[in-house]
Structure 1
Amino acid sequence: MRRWSALALILLVPGCLFDKEPEVVRLSGETMGTTYNIIAIGEDLDEAELGTAVEDTLAAVNAKMSNWDPNSEVSVFSASDSTAPVEVSAEFATVIAAANDVHRKSEGKFDITLGPLIELWGFGPRKPEDAVPSDEAIAEALQRVGQGSLLQLDQPSKTLAKADAGVGINLAAIAKGYGIDAVAGALKAAGIEDYMVEIGGDLVTSGENDEGETWRIGIEKPEPGAQTVQLVIPATDLGMATSGDYRNFFEQDGVRYSHIIDPTTGRPITHRTTSVTVVAENAMMADAWATAMLAMGQDAGMKVAEAHKLAVFFISRDVTDSEEAYITVQSSAFKDVLARN
């Protein structure tokens, strides 16, 4: 269920300027196996203090959510062979509760217990000669996938239990969004109301950009090796995430295997939807829903988007006359976002 985010960050034409020329602090670095970029706008900003606040916030998030850190909260829980309820942090419980909500509403297409299938299909380090998993191996891995039945969260008491000792949690499809929101919270705590926080292409914005304009973000066309814009949308005071399958896949015996795995079948997706952008109230939900919608595909995803009033933009392959073209579809809520322009 890991994915490639593809949002083109675009700051468009100047408009109404601030009465006083604002200070702009730009911070960048590495986190969560990718990069972050932050634009903070205000008066009397201290770049060093903001940089420290951002790094401290990201370190705290990684200490709880990182699957790469063996000592993180999620890694310790996953490695435990106990099925007894374990007390978890409030932050961890919040992320698990959000994941459960998306899992339920997406009919299981979003699943944080997907790890055994990710490993089975070889996304990361995969050699061209590695065999495609057998039906038997997929069936075996599926026994340890399914957060709805394998994880039990008691949010009031902040305890989490797993039904089987072999169950693990992979938060790659939601923790990045949570981290973005946490950094945004740190900026607000510093009195900053105008900002953009982006990690690995997913982002959240607030207020106005440094030209006094609505933040405007470009959605990238799903073309490997190119960085062209499909659509520009107003995205102030919203979280936004794009999930695509067009950069991370492998081919074997003439078959293309996407890195997006359907948790209900145990196999890579086969539909023609190649990119999904979700706009939500925060980056965490946009992050999770972008993955869920790409796993579902345009037809099933649109039904869920309309049912739950989700702002979703689908780009799907439309193969005609041996030439690859694309078709786009917008949910009603996404059209409302565009109308804010």
Structure 2
Amino acid sequence: MSTDGQRYSLNGETMGSRYTAMFYADPGLDTDVISRRLADAVGRVDQQMSTWKVDSDLNRLNTAPEQEWLSVPKELTTVLAAALRVSQQSSGAFDIAVGDLVDAWGFGPGEQSVNEQTLAATSLRPRLSTSAALVVDPQRNQVRKRAPLQLDLNGIAKGFGVDELARCLEGFGITRYLVGIDGEMRASGVKPDAQPWVVAIEKPCRGVREVMGVMELSDAAIATSGDYRQWVEVGGQSYAHTMNPVTGAPLRNPLAAVSVVAASCMLADAWATALLVLGDVEGPRLAQERGMDALFVLHDGEQFKEISIVGGQLQAHIETRPIDPPLTVSPAKP
């Protein structure tokens, strides 16, 4: 199928947000089948990995007894195995065994009563890392818990959903596309005029949605984690939804947001969370060591500052501007 022709745009609801798919294909393409396949692809991810669906495969794993092998879908096995790798490579900064913390702080399903006593008890509870407590067998698509775990895949599942959108389009022979779920995006090829796809980088401000800059993207994915989308007020303090598995509480560091460019959106999603948890010193250091492409946005009084790393090389620290010139990056391989 030629991909130099008409521009198409499809979208729908998923994972409490919306997915989008823009692509170029032959004029007159029947998009009904593609629309259904896209919806089915993200629907499977949501049904398997949502903590909000009582009958999801993830919740089935959360309630399964310890020391027993549980068969799970291939997609869930893939995500769990990737989560364990990123956890090990980030020294535990990315950890999916934080479901109890997410619930205790009011970010999970249902209506939780958030109070300082409950939070204190949760943060002091002894914790096992996912790497120590979860065994994944990708060949048999089976999982075994060594200890009680409440897993939460919100830091990686959406990125995997974007990758599934990409695989869906490629199954139709479409090779020039930009797909996304909320702010997680993946691009393939270039547009017919040979220009790369352009995606917006959101300014990490609570309560407003403004563009901080734009990035050119081709054959790569981008994901962002930050403190500005979901938060809760407890005891007069504001806490963001990303959990620190070491402290057993939400993050408290100078970072407002981290964007990561990687070969897959699943990895970009997980690493954006990991680097956010690591903070403004250890995060950039690890990104450089691993040769990553990452943008760190720091709170600086009433302003923001950026630390930009491209191909593992530290760029100049600059203050943000309302809209920056496009930044072209190549896919890293964390």
TM range (shorter): 0.7 to 0.9
- Structure 1 residues 227 and 122: alpha-carbon distance in aligned structure 2, compared to 1, 3 A threshold: closer
2:191 aligned with 1:200, yes or no? no
Q: CA deviation at 1:334?
A: 6.7
- Secondary structure of the residue aligned to 1:49 is helix
- Aligned partner of 1:131 among 116, 131, 152: 116
Q: Which moves more between the two structures, 266-275 or 38-47?
A: 38-47
Distance between the aligned counterparts of 1:106 and 1:209, measured in 2? 35
Q: Aligned residue for 1:158?
A: 141
CA deviation digits over 1:55-95, x for unaligned, max 9?
12122222322222222221211121242122333222211
2:320 paired residue number: none
Partner of 2:151: 169
Once the two structures are overlaid, the 10-residue window that deviates more, 263-272 or 148-157, is: 148-157
Q: What is the rounded CA distance, in whole Å, between the counterparts of 2:112 and 2:151 in structure 1?
A: 25
Provide the rounded CA distance (Å) in 2 between the counterparts of 1:221 and 1:214.
22
Measure the CA separation in 1 of the matches of 2:202 and 2:33.
33
Secondary structure of residue in 1 paired with 2:300: strand
Structure 1 position 339, deviation (Å): 5.1
Query: For residue 93 of structure 1, what is the aligned residue in structure 2?
Result: 77
1:270 aligns to what?
Answer: 252
Task: Report the 3-state secondary structure (helix = DSSP H, G, I; strand = E; otherwise coil) of the residue aligned with 1:279.
Answer: strand
Give the aligned length.
316
Q: Deviations over 1:38-64 (max 9, x none)?
A: 112111422112101111212222232
Instruction: Report the TM-score, using the length of structure 1 for normalisation.
Output: 0.85
User: Larger relative contact order (C-alpha < 8 A, sep ≥ 6)?
Assistant: 1
1:62 and 1:150 mapped to 2: Cα distance? 24
Query: Root-mean-square deviation (CA), in Å?
Result: 2.5
Residue 310 (structure 2) pairs with residue 332 (structure 1): yes
TM-score normalised to the size of structure 2? 0.87
1:24 and 1:210 in contact (8 A); partners too: no
- From 60, 65, 69, give the equivalent of 1:81: 65
1:25 equivalent in alignment to 2:8 = yes
Name which of 221, 224, 245 aligns with 2:203. 221
Q: Determine helix, strand or coil for the equivalent of 2:96.
A: coil
Whether the aligned pair in 2 keeps the contact of 1:121 and 1:132 (CA below 8 Å) is no
- Structure 2 counterpart of 1:180: 162
Aligned to 1:104, the other structure's residue is in SS state helix
Q: How does 1:1-341 map to 2 (within 5 A)?
A: 22-44=5-27, 45-124=29-108, 130-131=115-116, 133-140=118-125, 142-143=126-127, 145-164=128-147, 166-209=148-191, 211-319=193-301, 324-333=302-311, 338=327
Cα offset, 1:313, TM superposition:
0.3
Structure 2 residue identity aligned to 1:56: D
- Structure 1: give runs of 5+ residues left out of the alignment: 1-18
Moved over 4 A (4+): 124-129, 334-337
SS in 2 for 1:297: helix
Identity score, percent: 31
Q: Unaligned regions of 5+ residues in structure 2, if any?
A: 316-325
Q: How far apart are the structure 1 equivalents of 2:122 and 2:49?
A: 28
Determine if contact 1:313/1:334 at 8 Å carries over to the other structure.
no
Matches of 2:149 and 2:234 in 1, distance apart? 30
Q: Displacement, 1:330?
A: 1.1
Query: 1:132 and 1:212 mapped to 2: Cα distance?
Result: 58
Asked if 1 retains the 8 angstrom alpha-carbon contact of 2:158 and 2:269, the reply is: yes
Equivalent pair of 1:275/1:316 in contact (CA under 8 Å): yes
Counterpart amino acid of 2:168? A
